[in-house]
Amino acid sequence: MERETVLSALTSNLRLVVPNSAEATVIEQSSLLADYGADSIQVVEIVSRTMRSLRVRVPRTDMSRAKDVATLVDLFVEHAK
């Protein structure tokens, strides 16, 4: 799976879940919480929607390592194999 595919899915789901984010584009050097105004519940929703849309299952134990978008993308790519 390509990193761009994951970023595109994250961007689409961010726009669906977080109010006032219609123009947002997720970049790897950002944090879902701080940079996009998503609260912890919204982050869980974004990640869950992205897992469903990409048909990738990332274990919760691994997900706890994701403190930024780059690490989250790494996890999706790693578990898509």
CATH code (residue 44): 1.10.1200.10
- What range defines the domain where residue 46 resides? 3-79
Number of independent structural domains in the chain: 1
For residue 70, name the pLDDT band (cuts at 50, 70, 90). very high
Residue 9 pLDDT level (bands cut at 50, 70, 90): very high
pLDDT of 76 > 90? The answer is: yes
Long-range contacts, 9-16 (Cβ 8 Å, 24+): 9/50, 9/53, 9/54, 10/46, 10/50, 10/69, 10/72, 10/73, 12/53, 13/45, 13/46, 13/49, 13/50, 13/53, 14/38, 14/46, 16/49
Q: Looking at the predicted structure, is the pLDDT value of residue 33 above 90? A: no
In this prediction, residue 81 has a pLDDT band, given cuts at 50, 70 and 90, of confident
pTM flag (> 0.75): yes
Q: With 90 as the cut, is the pLDDT of residue 32 above it?
A: no
